Structure 1
């Protein structure tokens, strides 16, 4: 049964993979909250008030106090409601390692996957795929002998890298590629299936068709730019 917290709100959008981290963590913790859906093109005064620096989602509001940035929100949730399902390891070294790979995911892996998605032309795509594959290999090595990055159950790093459970397949479908295959990345491919299909996670994903439409529109300017250069 979910634990009630009358003063817990999450400012999010329907599609943001960063906001989805907070959604997943709150679900795993069994915490009830009010979701405030934002229109990024017409941001509410509340969002701008609670996140005046970056002016973006997600923002977690707890007892009137805002917490910004998705990875920081994950740690706040875990520190505040640590039991019965801690997300971060107790051991300081293992905790530091989890934080390192979460940052690697945001700073290196996600941008490299995005470059594959928007690459135009064979040469550009081959270079982008090579870069992304190298980053994926490094991440896959962290899964050796484990069901989840957190061990036998979903933890902080699983949620931090959880965008792969939904976004990689959508990008593959739109761009006509297969970036994470069972043959090339057996551990990572199996983890994606386990994470995306986990009972606590699978009902949280945004509508597939709507996501495809959104990311097609995001890719279109790159396609048009390439066509313009060719013409």
Structure 2
């Protein structure tokens, strides 16, 4: 059944367009994979300018629920998608940088999410899921691995465990929270006095985490994950508090 579009009110036009699209998604009239009508058709039906419509579509693309393809042909136009990971990570990074959340708040959120992820992964992760995590750990264990590459692989390791937990929302939130502090963790890693020793210690914990997951020992994996996060991330909280930058 084709979607019936209705004109929207003219005040704060692009936000009203967003509301119109949201209403149709919530009502099940728009689903993943559905395409919106071309701008030249949709704008007059909604009773808005094409510039206002484009502004609304850009917002939807930014928050990861729409992708727009320019040009002509079957792949052109705006299509409903679900891609929350990058969008949530971007939003959290910006709000963290602006001081909307303190580093201690992020730490506690990581602990809650990753305890849940590791405990669930011990029950639900497939051998293939854990093999992917093992490959990431192998990359982190290379003698010549640089700080930036280590930080990237470390982020992917934790996100991989979350994805193997069987809970997509936990995976998305874990990815977003970990990504939000990636720049800060990178800067902290770059200042450690003995980088090889730091990398070795972190990887020892990563190795033990994987062993516990393969053995299905969820509560022990959750406890170690918390110690692992508080060990390094916790030092960032202490250092930032000493510098007095949490509220700046």
Q: TM-score, normalised by structure 2?
A: 0.22
Which one has the bigger helix percentage? 2
Computing the radius of gyration from Cα coordinates, the structure with the larger value is 2
Which one has the bigger strand percentage? 1
Q: TM-score, normalised by structure 1?
A: 0.24
